[in-house]
Structure formats: C-alpha cells, structure tokens
Amino acid sequence: DAKTTQPTSMDCAEGRAANLPCNHSTISGNEYVYWYRQIHSQGPQYIIHGLKNNETNEMASLIITEDRKSSTLILPHATLRDTAVYYCIAATTDSWGKLQFGAGTQVVVTP
Amino acid sequence: KAGVTQTPRYLIKTRGQQVTLSCSPISGHRSVSWYQQTPGQGLQFLFEYFSETQRNKGNFPGRFSGRQFSNSRSEMNVSTLELGDSALYLCASSPGDSEKLFFGSGTQLSVL
C-alpha cells in the first residue's frame, strides 16, 4: 500500500473550516484514500473515502487532486468535538482489514 | 444497530500469563480485524477474519492468535505475556467488501 504523509499537527478555530492535507504520491490506480479519526481513548472512526472523484458526506468533504497524488479532508465547520488525530490511509478494496495507520495529524480546535 | 462491543474494557495480567479478549461485531458484518495500539508503535494490524477464516495477518509473533465463530464473534489470545504486550487492543468489523471499518472502544491490557 502507498505511504501517506501528513503534517504532525494543526490548530483550527471553532466554527471555521479545517483543511487537512495528505500526500500520497506513490498511490496506485486501485488504491482508495481513506480518512479516519481517533478521539482520545476511543477507537478510530471512519470519516470518508474516495478513489478519484470528490466525495462529501455528513461529516466531511474529500478533495482528491486530478493526478491523485494528494488529497484534502475538509471539516466545514469545526467544533471542539472535532479535536482528534486524523489519519489518511491508502488502501485497496482487498486489503482485508489491514490499514497502514501512520502518525496522523493532531488537530486541536480552539474556542 | 449496536456498535462493535469489546470485553473486557480493562485487564491487568502478569508476565507469563495468557489472556483472551472478545469482540462482538456489528450485526451482519462478517469481517473482524484486530489492531494493537501503543504510544511508541501506533496502530498496528494483527489479523483479520472473514467467515471463520483468517484472511490476513500482520507481523506479530505466534503468541498472538485469534479465531472467529460462526456468528462472526471473534476472540484473540495472547500467550506467555510480556511487558511489551501492554497496549490498547482494538477490534473492528466491516461487511468485508471495503476498508470502511467500525472500531470498538478497545481493551486496555496492562502486563505487570
């Protein structure tokens, strides 16, 4: 699976949009980009995933560049409850549960 | 739907003992994966079961084993516990057709 690179940390003001970047320059054609987050002392939570088209759900939007070498997760209106570690992962549909969680991005939402 | 349930929530064992952790997946989910999380190594994949068969395995010693029952519930076992096995053990379930995993809250294992 392709390696992903994320900033170590970022701050965001409550109510503003949070834009979380991820680089995956070696991603292969059959690998999806998955985003998870982990709030302290809880298990990771699935956010969104996509292959090449932009995706949106009730939690976030995922913007994937045309060359698929990078993506951005957008939390449209950050709240204090969005403070968490966010993981960007590249995986195929037959990864069979094996996700390569890196160090992720620690996002702190401040009032 | 009820979420993924892991029991027990906390466990304290001593070196050399063995331990069994339990995971009940979301109803209808046939895939169960196990992860170990430590401050130093982060989240690491242990193994995955689908319809009672192990489909994938991470890079852990043979002391770590698992199984899945016909109702999709899963157990993992760690034998001859070492201090380094202290970790949060997470279970995740999915229908098995994507990597959209639903995680439980984990079992915090402390080995003394």
CB atoms < 10 A from the CB of B10, how many? 9
How far does the CA of residue B99 sit from the closest CA of chain A (Å)? 6
Contact A97 B104 (CB under 8 A): no
Angle CA(B66)–CA(B110)–CA(B2) in degrees, nearest 5?
Answer: 55
Contact A43 B104 (CB under 8 A): yes
Phi and psi of B65, rounded to 5°?
-140, 165
**Chain B residues with beta carbon closer than 8 angstroms to that of A43:** 4, 90, 92, 103-106
Contact A98 B50 (CB under 8 A): no
Contact B90 A43 (CB under 8 A): yes
CA torsion sign for B72, B73, B77, B83 is: positive
Is A13 a residue whose pLDDT tops 80?
A: yes
Helix residue ranges, H only, chain A = none
The answer to whether the CB of B70 falls within 8 A of the CB of B82 is no
Least confident range from A28-37, A54-63, A77-86, A89-98: namely A89-98
The rounded Cα B23 to chain-centroid distance in angstroms is 7
Which of A1, A39, A96, A105 to mutate to test binding with chain B, by most B CBs within 10 Å of its CB? A96
Q: Mind listing the pLDDT tens digit for each residue in B99-108? A: 899 999 999 9
**Which chain A residue shows the shortest CA-CA distance from B96?**
A96
Q: Which two tokens stand for residue A88?
A: 């960007």
Cα gap A47→A37, rounded to integer Å: 7
Q: Mind listing the pLDDT tens digit for each residue in A22-64? A: 999 999 999 999 999 999 889 999 999 999 989 999 999 999 9
Looking at this protein, which amino acid is placed at residue B6?
Q
Percent share of chain B, pLDDT over 90:
92
Phi and psi of B48, rounded to 5°?
-135, 140
Phi-psi region of A97 (alpha: psi -120 to 50; beta: other; left: phi over 0): left
A95 pLDDT band, cuts 50/70/90, is: confident
Q: Mind listing the pLDDT tens digit for each residue in B60-99? A: 999 999 999 999 999 999 999 999 999 999 999 998 777 8
Mean local confidence (pLDDT), A81-100: 92
Is A94 a residue whose pLDDT tops 90?
A: no
Contact A42 B97 (CB under 8 A): no
Contact B31 A102 (CB under 8 A): no
